[in-house]
């Protein structure tokens, strides 16, 4: 090889090195932004573990370790919003262990979180809270105001949520404890378990069992398909219960002195069982349907239950 070719090879080799991307694999981060004038924080991270904690300071901080394949962390204020995003080079070929970050933010600021497979934990937040993830688990404690947590295949565990609470999952389970206010629970093929002080409770479950332990309820609406439903509740004066089931049983356990008008109906099979009074169900002359109407006390509340090929038990 002549001298010219040697020089060319050396030059090309040196030049190519300038275009090798600089990796920040596993980089530690510890950053802070002032939150004066900020009314919302948005967070986006594909995988890993994210913890979001509300506090009383006027700043937002991000601490922890980035994904091995992360290109950078975007942490900036745009208008009245602070955006936090872990940037990855190619989502189509993304496969990594994820980022492990802890975010502190003012507890009275709105927060929105989106992810594919990140597990996320939220604590001590008191404004609009929205979480959407595909396969990540969600853990939420001491949140209030407007709360919407959803996961496609992850589990949702919540404790001490207050306000308008909406928890939904497709194939994961929901475990709710000590919530209050207005509670909405939705699952397609998961289990729903709740111990709640909510006055208004709305539940929709398909192909999963539902177990509710409620206290003083003004309104309860439950719909289930191919799953059993068990509810313990203290129905308040002028309260309303509406429940429907297909191929699953419904059991309602009321307080001792419940005062309500009961109207229970069964179609295509299923038994109506009354453990509150001596009134028994009457069966249709033709076809496998039956109904059970009765009242307790001054009947100031209303209980309506219908089932297709499932049992209904009131006690």
Q: For the chain, what is the domain count?
A: 1
In a domain, 74, yes or no: yes
In a domain, 20, yes or no: no
In a domain, 103, yes or no: yes
In a domain, 78, yes or no: yes
Instruction: Return d(Cα 205, Cα 201) in angstroms, integer.
Output: 13
Q: Is the pLDDT of residue 8 over 50?
A: no
Q: Residue 108: how many CA atoms within 13 Å on its side-chain side?
A: 6
Q: Is the pLDDT of residue 6 over 80?
A: no
Show the tokens assigned to 65: 């370790």
* Cα torsion 241, 195, 102, 67: sign: negative
In a domain, 67, yes or no: yes
Which is more confidently placed, 44 or 8? 44
In a domain, 48, yes or no: yes
- Per-residue pLDDT, averaged over 195-204, amounts to 98
Which among 79, 87, 95 has a CA at the least distance from the CA of 29? 87
Q: Is the pLDDT of residue 18 over 60?
A: no
The domain of 72 spans 29-107
In a domain, 146, yes or no: no
Percent above pLDDT 90 for the chain: 85
Q: Is the pLDDT of residue 12 over 70?
A: no
Which is more confidently placed, 6 or 109? 109
Q: Three-class SS of residue 258?
A: coil
The C-alpha angle 219, 150, 74, rounded to 5 degrees, equals 140
pTM metric for this prediction: 0.89
Instruction: Return d(Cα 208, Cα 183) in angstroms, integer.
Output: 18
Look over the chain and give the mean of its residue pLDDT values, rounded to a whole number.
91
In a domain, 91, yes or no: yes
Q: Quickly state the pLDDT bin for 19 (edges 50, 70, 90).
A: very low
For the segment 52-101, what is each residue's pLDDT rounded down to a tens digit?
999 999 999 999 999 988 999 999 999 999 999 999 886 555 566 899 99
Q: Is the pLDDT of residue 38 over 50?
A: yes
């Amino acid at each position: 090889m002549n001298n010219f070719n040697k020089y060319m090879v050396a030059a090309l080799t040196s030049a190519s090195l300038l275009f090798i991307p600089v990796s920040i694999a596993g980089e530690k981060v510890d950053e802070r932004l002032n939150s004066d004038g900020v009314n919302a924080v948005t967070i986006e991270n594909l995988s890993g573990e994210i913890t979001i904690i509300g506090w009383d300071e006027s700043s937002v901080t991000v601490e922890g370790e980035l994904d091995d394949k992360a290109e950078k962390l975007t942490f900036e204020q745009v208008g009245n919003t602070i955006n936090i995003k872990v940037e990855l080079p190619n989502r189509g070929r993304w496969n990594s262990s994820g980022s492990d970050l802890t975010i502190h933010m003012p507890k009275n600021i709105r927060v929105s979180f989106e992810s594919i497979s990140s597990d996320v934990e939220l604590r001590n937040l008191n404004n609009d809270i929205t979480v959407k993830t595909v396969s990540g688990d969600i853990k939420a404690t001491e949140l209030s105001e407007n709360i919407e947590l959803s996961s496609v295949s992850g589990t949702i565990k919540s404790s001490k949520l207050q306000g308008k609470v909406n928890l939904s999952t497709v194939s994961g389970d929901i475990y709710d404890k000590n919530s209050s206010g207005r509670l909405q629970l939705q699952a397609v093929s998961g289990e729903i378990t709740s111990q709640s002080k909510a006055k208004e409770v709305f539940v929709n479950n398909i192909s999963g069992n539902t177990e509710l332990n409620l206290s003083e309820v003004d309104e309860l609406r439950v719909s289930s398909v191919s799953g059993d439903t068990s509810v313990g509740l203290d129905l308040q004066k002028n309260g309303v219960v509406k429940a429907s089931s297909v191929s699953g049983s419904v059991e309602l356990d009321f307080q001792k002195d419940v005062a309500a008008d009961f109207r229970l109906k069964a179609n295509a099979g299923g038994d109506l069982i009354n453990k509150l009074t001596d009134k028994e169900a009457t069966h249709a002359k033709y076809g496998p349907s039956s109904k059970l109407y009765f009242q307790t006390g001054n009947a100031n509340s209303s209980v309506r239950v219908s089932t297709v090929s499932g049992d209904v038990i009131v006690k």
